[in-house]
Chain A
Amino acid sequence: MAVNQSDIEKLAELAKLEISTEAAGATADSISQVLELVDQLQAADTSGVAPMAHPLDAVQRLRADQVTETDQRDTLQAMAPATEDGLYLVPRVIE
């Protein structure tokens, strides 16, 4: 499956990645190459095979409902790009 520049723009929008128009063409080419590689999957006979999301057939362990965390806001916000009054700041969110 080959992708073109406009596909790349859509994917970049979903993935929130800035890709310049100049780079989009080359990106489309390299991604098309990768897709060509993975397209080999299509030839595999997988009828009746259950997909395997985890390598081991393990089961989730559940945690007891206990508060184990204390307030670490100052430490955790020390490396935040922008905060005020304990809040993380972002450009205005419009509803």
Chain B
Amino acid sequence: MEWETVIGLEIHVQLSTQSKIFSGASTAFGAAPNSQACAIDLAMPGTLPVANEQAFRYAVMFGLAMNAEIGKRSVFERKNYFYPDLPKGYQTTQLEEPIVGPGVIDIELENGETKSIRLHHAHLEEDAGKSLHEDYQGMSGIDLNRAGTPLIEIVSEPDMRSAEEAVAYLKKIHSIITYLGISDGEMSQGSMRCDANVSVRLKGEEEYGTRCEIKNINSFKFVEKAINVEVERQIDLIEDGGKVVQETRLYDADKNETRSMRSKEVANDYRYFPCPDLLPVILDDDYIAEIKSTLPELPDAKRDRFVRDYNLSSYDATVLTAERATADFFETVAKTSGEPKLAANWVMVDLAAYLNKSEQKLSSCPVSAEHLAQLITRIKDGTISGKIAKQVFEAMTAGEGEPDSIIEKRGLKQVSDTGAIEKMVDEVIANNQAQVDNYKNADEQKRPKMLGFFVGQIMKASKGQANPQAVNEILLKKLNEQ
């Protein structure tokens, strides 16, 4: 039997507003417990919400970036349930009339294909607080600093057919929100959270299978793992004659398994109804047009431009534009050095390897775009060879400063002085007479290969600093003179 996986994602993104969606309390991360929970956030009696304009602006930016319809009229509703991290006993959210309507976005798969994923809608809502389960006299502690932080919940259609597609979609959303600057997108801090609706069906079936909602997936890596392990579970279950039960399941990264969340089992009836404390939000065309005019260049447009302007491959351009910081970094290097191809290589290979190994972000990287550009310029103008450049780069990552001063301090300048090179060539020829004889006796076709030995010896003698082109020329001349 061949199974097909069906996945839809619900992504919660915290918006980078200064204040909360319905109160003037700060949204800064990491404050002392409840120091950023004001009377409104605590649902003190008699307090009332007033909606934050910036949250709407960010949501509209997102909608425009997703080629989606913008809800010119959107309505907040109350979703009723009791939980200690939900002070009002209801979450203020949007249901019937969300701020962002249907849209569509392309994702790039590793095989180079693109696929369209439909957006069902995205809505604005408030985040809940946090329950801390350390032992407080056998009780849980509630921190409501996060309560009221604005979120957009981005709900896809069940258009993804593999964990890989789900990850690509999630990365695309991450890329868009960070390009827009509407969220820091930090999954580790919970700024971006993902729930996956997963079901399986026999290939060719029209109807969807029963789905499970997987919660608590807090990294790109876990999205893939959680979906795969859940798909496996569902297939095993069905093949053993069982039935998938619609439920909420929690992903346990340590055990790499999903398990049923019994606490959510009780049939919930959220009793949504329009929030009487908040009025419909009406956005006019001018407001939306004004936001549209200030949208930054988005990943797809940037990728196309990189291909066009810098003559990059589509793959390279996609990699370089996945994150705005990387794209901006690359572009500075490319423009400053005038060598886009080299710039792309350095950013995608050397810099990426360094960041990966040192587990750093570009923002905290000791190598600036200007310095990398200078390094590339020095390769281009023959001051250093590509090989020496790697040494210089390593010194740059160690915080030794700009390439020119590293080259100077360490005496890495390439030797182009013909007199000095001639001397080295003579020495090598004199010390390796046997190889010289072999060379002389060899066929014309075999000689270039044999030349490598002499070049290697000379480069070794020069500690890599001899200009390879000059070495080649002089070596050929001298060997022919023998």
Interface residues of A, Cβ cutoff 8 Å to B: 14, 16, 53-54, 58-69, 71-73, 76-77, 82, 84-95
Contact = CB atoms under 8 A, between A and B. Distances in A.
Contacts of B53: 62-65
Chain B interface mostly helix, strand, loop or mixed?
Answer: loop
B51 interface: yes
Contact of B142 (A59, A62, A87): A87
Contacts of B273: 53
B34 A87 contact: yes
Chain A binding surface, main DSSP class: loop
Given A62-B53, A86-B32, A92 B19 contact: no
Nearest to A84: B136
B191 interface: no
A7 to B, nearest CB: 13
5 contacts: A54-B276, A62-B53, A71-B35, A87-B132, A87-B141
B36 A91 contact: no
The 6 closest A-B pairs by CB, nearest first: A87-B141, A68-B24, A65-B54, A62-B53, A69-B38, A60-B279
B139 A67 contact: no
Contact of A73 (B17, B34, B131, B137): B34
B271 interface: yes
A1 B42 CA distance: 37
Nearest to B143: A87
Interface in B133-185: 133, 136-144
Contacts of A62: 50-53, 56, 281
B37 interface: yes
Contacts of A85: 33, 136, 141
A58 B279 contact: yes
Contacts of B84: 88, 90, 93
A52 B281 CA distance: 15
Contacts of A64: 53-54
A58 B282 CA distance: 10
Contacts of B271: 14
Interface string B265-298: 0000101011010111110000000000000000
A90 B140 contact: yes
Contacts of A87: 33-34, 132, 136, 141-143
A89 B281 CA distance: 36
B250 interface: yes
Name which of B24, B32, B52, B261 has the most chain A CB atoms within 10 A of its CB: B24
B44 A76 contact: yes
B213 to A, nearest CB: 15
A73 B35 contact: yes
Contacts of A66: 18-19, 24
Contacts of B279: 54, 58-61
Which of A66, A72, A87 lies at the interface centre, i.e. has the most chain B CB atoms within 10 A of its CB?
A: A87
B82 interface: yes
A61 B44 contact: no
B263 A95 contact: yes
A77 B37 CA distance: 11
Nearest to A71: B35
A67 B131 contact: no
Nearest to B35: A71
Contact of A67 (B24, B33, B34, B56): B24
B23 interface: yes
